Amino acid sequence: MLAPDLDRLPAVWVSPGLLLVPRAPSGATAWMLHAAAEGGIDVRRREPVPWTQVPLAPLPDGVPMAVREAYPHVSDALALTVPDGLDLQAAVRGQILLIGRADSGAAVAALGVQTAPLLDALYPGAASAPLGVRWRRGTPTLRLWAPTARAVEALVWGGDTEDAPVERHPLTVDPDGIWQVTGTPAWADRRYLYSVTVYVPAFDRVVENRVTDPYAVALTTDSRHGVLTDLTDPRWAEPRWLAAHSPPLRHRVDQVAYELHVRDHSRDDASVPADLRGTYAAFGVESDGRAHLRRLAEAGLTSVQLLPVLDFASVVEDRTAQRHPDIAELSAASPAGALQQERAAHQAGTPFNWGYDPWHWFAPEGSYATAGNQDGGARVAELRGAVGALHELGLRVVLDVVFNHTFAAGQEPSSVLDKIVPGYYYRRELDGTIATSPAGPAVATETAMASRIVVDACVHWARHYRVDGFRFDLMGHHSVEVMRDVRAALDALTLDGDGVDGPAVTLHGEGWDFGEVVGNARFVQATQGQLDGTGIATFSDRLRDAVRGAAPFDADPGRQGFVSGLAGAPNGAAHNGTSAAQHDRLLALTDVIQVGLAGTLRTVAFRSARTRRPVTGAQVEFWPGVSAGYAAEPDEALNYVDAHDNETLYDALAAALPVATDPGQRARATLVALALATLGQNPVLWHAGVDLLRSKSLDRNSYDSGDWFNRLDYTGRDNGFGRGLPPARDNETHWRWVAPLLADPALRPDAGLVGATHARALDLLRLRSSSRLFRLGSAAQIEAKLTFPASGTWAQRPGVVVMFLDDERGTRVDSRLAGVLVVANALPWPAEQPLPAEVGTSWTLHPVQAHGADDVVRRARVEDGIARVPSRTVAVFVRLRP
């Protein structure tokens, strides 16, 4: 006899009168909707039954066109009409089962039903009603959306400890499904939970769930309780946060962000007091790390992008329960041995994780708070202090936010949303199971209230922490509509009313296209090329992969790119193909890089280095069927060559460049790669430590590899290379390649080389900030002023890119410079690059480089129509106005 799988909800109730059945069994000829308030529907039972039954009739013309457009992933489903008269609000509070029977009367299908679209239709007012805890004259009012709940109570602790007496306060519900209660001033700073009495489909019964508030702005240690914290309370307004103001950003393309992990920043910084290392508070300490950030800011860095600081579930916050590795043991182990990764893999209670395991979206992560300040408003104050300390340096603060999934769903201990409105917040596969393509339960931000949380959370962090931007993890799992809603909500914030200039808050994210939403399967995704006119940028893998060579998922890390040896330094790896194939690929990658330098625009036009024919960015192929140019404006893409994901840039070059490459040349290759990202027309991101030749011992996914593999040393004495074989979890298939590299002491740079590389990287920031010609800000200006004069002509030298920025064309943007000429030489030998006549003469080395930290680039010159540039060097020449 057929038994329903209570964990699956394959049918979709899309509107009060319509229910869809994807993959409907062909044997079902009659359909009946069953609704039981307390659960317990028995497929075997014949009439009469003690629950509601409603016969459903198929729509003869199938799914209506409007519904097909709204739900394209189920457009070919069986469409069943739901008759009038059913109490829908009562039905969604209990078990709903769709049973299909054959002509014989035998049940051939027993399907759970997704009701999220129906709930959106039944409670439309909830999307604009206030939620969370609101304070008025010191008194809190608590509001929670729980339309399917039978009862909701606020559990308020009578003291500061977990074993204090608990008061139970019933909430009342309004027509929008929002429950609320107004407390007293005595509730301030108390810990609290909600008790939600609700039917849970997976259990097929009504249960009482004790759960934290999804809108909780403060928490206790390890997120066991929310804390009723008034964020306007002066106790939580850290003085330097109040005093320091957000640094201005004239245009979104001006942004150069430094992607930094809070713990990495100070964990190994001996100049920080031991009790502050790895915490928010360390950002305010005069230390090696703060001095490093100050130098970057003074050179032209605009922002620090913090890896997730919204509360996440993967780290033990209680410092007494944390476990740390034996540093002496690991330091004594072989630089290419397996001991270090074994210790990292078995380090229970490790205090390290990147933080892409979200738990609460409105409260700061507690593991970064100092001991004794992890509960309630104290951790709020410490994070605000970190924001203020960065603002003091002239650095904006961008938060990495993860709304595409949560750490847990269902009735799991750290589940929140599913315990309040079971079955609503998570996206389902066609078989009715929760989708997990984002590496966790996928949040269905296409629903009204999940979208509402995303918007509310962004406004919350901008208004109450004065952050200056957001980086969206897996942004392609959200719709363009959701991102436009976020943009509109931020744009409505004002300095006078909210303390923040909303339109100045930047947005960018990962526009990758995969998973159950791939190809706009469920909505128009916020992916590369689909955000025209929004000013929201997506990370560009185009320039990144062209520069580095091996893509993130390549089996062979020795695949070479423009900077990693394809230009004149073959490593002998079979994956790179014949000499002729390498030459062809080098020219193809040159085209991709040129599109990246020109704002990643679809419309930018030049002569292809590979085909020698005129092309646009949209016509340059990144890989088969995918264009290198996808943006309508330069603020819709972001250039980078290194980030927390995948091998660091230093490690990628270590794997791809010939082993015999001199350490100094490796450092120069790093700077060429960084220059190609930094001197382009898009916003830019640097991974923290890229300017210090940072290594993670060739770890391609260090999210939980612990402190040992994620070391960031601002002194330059230890760049992290040779700290053992990277963890087997994601790297074991590469060990045969990486072990000989890690064992080679010549690949570990000394402090002098690291320091020199940092100084030269600062010059790159100075170059970018020296002229608006590097940051033109519009497609029209780029198309008017930027050319690649040697590309596809007799003058083209493989391994060299020539970019000409002519300020005599279009609207003038620089009062001092008539033009800028960038010559990037990725070759391991000096380049003599002929310059076409239209480039002109009278070029001198840019003052930043003429008086900068790199004595090699000072040998670069333009004479007799030829640019002579040393090996692995990017030279910037200028022509002054009369």
How far does the chain reach from its first CA to its final CA, in angstroms?
91
Q: From the candidates 317, 468, 473, 707, which is the catalytic residue?
A: 473
Strand partners, 35: 52, 96
In 402-466, DSSP assigns E strands to none
CA-nearest of 92, 214, 94 to 143 is 214
Q: For residues 417 and 361, is the Cβ–Cβ distance under 8 A?
A: no
Q: Checking DSSP bridges between strand 861-863 and strand 866-869, what pairing results, if any?
A: antiparallel
H or E, element range at 768 = helix 751-770
Closest CA to 680 of 577, 801, 837, 797: 801
> Which candidate, 254, 306, 248, places its Cα nearest to that of 503?
248
Residue 491 zone, left/alpha/beta (φ > 0; ψ -120 to 50; rest): alpha
Q: What share of the chain is helix, strand, coil (3-state, %, to 5)?
A: 30, 20, 45
Contact 121, 15 (CB under 8 A): yes
Containing 132, the helix (H) or strand (E) segment is strand 132-136
Contact 35, 94 (CB under 8 A): yes
Of 828, 833, 839, 879, the closest CA to residue 860 belongs to 833
Cβ-based neighbours of 737, under 8 Å, separated by 6 or more: 556, 557, 558, 655
Residues 690, 547 contacting (CB under 8 angstroms): no
Cβ burial 361-370 (10 Å sphere, 16+ → b, else e): bbbbbbbbbb
Pairwise CA distance, residues 505 & 463, whole Å? 11
Tokens of 542: 């185009």
Q: What residues have CB less than 8 Å from 616, skipping those under 6 apart?
A: 602, 603, 604, 605, 629
> Tokens at residue 58, please?
């198929």
The DSSP result for 619-677, as a single string, is GSEEETTEES--BSSGGGEEB-S--SSSS-HHHHHHHHS-TT--HHHHHHHHHHHHHHH
Render 481-525 in DSSP notation, one character per residue.
Answer: HHHHHHHHHHHT--HHHHSS-GGG-EEEE-----GGGGGGSSS-B
516 is known as an active-site residue: no
The residue count for the chain = 882
Q: How far apart are CA 759 and CA 496, in angstroms?
A: 40
- Backbone dihedral region of 38: left (phi > 0), alpha (psi from -120 to 50 degrees) or beta? alpha
**473 is an active site residue:** yes
Assign 80 to helix, strand or coil.
strand
Pairs from 487-493 (Cβ < 8 Å, separation ≥ 24): 487/534, 487/535, 487/536, 489/455, 489/458, 489/459, 490/458, 490/459, 490/462, 493/459, 493/462, 493/463
DSSP code at position 536: -
Which of these, 307, 466, 313, 456, lies nearest to 380 by C-alpha position? 466
Q: Are strands 166-170 and 149-157 parallel, antiparallel or unpaired?
A: antiparallel
Whole-angstrom distance, CA of residue 688 vs CA of residue 690: 6
Catalytic residue among 468, 510, 707, 807: 510
Q: Which residues are catalytic?
A: 473, 510
